[in-house]
Structure 1
Amino acid sequence: MKWLIAMFAAMWLNSTMAADCDSTLYDVSQAADTAKLYYTQQGVGFIAVADGIGPTRPAFEQITMSKCLVLETPWQMIWVGADSQSCPNQAKLEAKALDYARKFNQKMLKLARSDVNFKCNLVENVNPVDSK
């Protein structure tokens, strides 16, 4: 009986870890439209990419990450990091997922800035060298 449970767990883990290996999930040309649809149905939400030890949040490089953004805003995670090293074409898959998340997040940031109900401040980081 234990071997049956172990076998089931192993099969489930493999399918779970490989769940984001399907590169058709990340159609970059549809990312902005998907963001708009998500916003219409559920409000503001962003995508992070688990591509290493911590998640990458594409399109947020120049935005100050606040408690409100990180903890009080919905985030979907694309798992293409260390746990998916067995994915075919892993490097291309990761690049595609990052590009998809960037396009999605850029559109969502535009929508969030115009949403009077969105309670988080989107503060742009200013490089002191650039402001002179």
Structure 2
Amino acid sequence: MYQAADLDPGLLSDWHEERGYVEIRVARGTKAQEFIPSLNETLRDFIKHGTWFQLWDGEIVSSEHPENPICLTFKPSPFQPAPLVDVREHQGFVDLYVSPAATIDEIVPILNASIEELLAGGQWFQLWRGEIVTMDSPGFMAA
């Protein structure tokens, strides 16, 4: 779940993970061109320390996959006019294109719906303390 939040001064993004849940917080009111660099660094940290995996054509992809490590990257949309959110997925890679002029507050509702749809595809799972957690697991909290 992405969330526009009141963060400490100077902090533009952070993350927190629990069983069946990840919260990515971005400083309320910031525009995409302001938060993208910080958010991408936050996502790299999440992937490095988090416990999420992708099942792609029968292969398990993780942050340590030798050829296609999981990489979540926010990018400014190249389209004019730009949609608020456009998500593209391929083995190990998720590119999240956002409107450069939009604020995180505007982006979050559409982004969370897009992430929920991505997770509902059945290709993503969390390994939480030895338990495989999917969208169908009891207690799973989707975006």
Q: TM-score, normalised by structure 1?
A: 0.30
Larger Rg: 1
Structure of greater relative contact order (alpha carbons < 8 Å, 6+ residues apart): 1
Query: If each structure's strand is expressed as a fraction of its own residues, which one has the higher value?
Result: 2
Query: If each structure's helix is expressed as a fraction of its own residues, which one has the higher value?
Result: 1
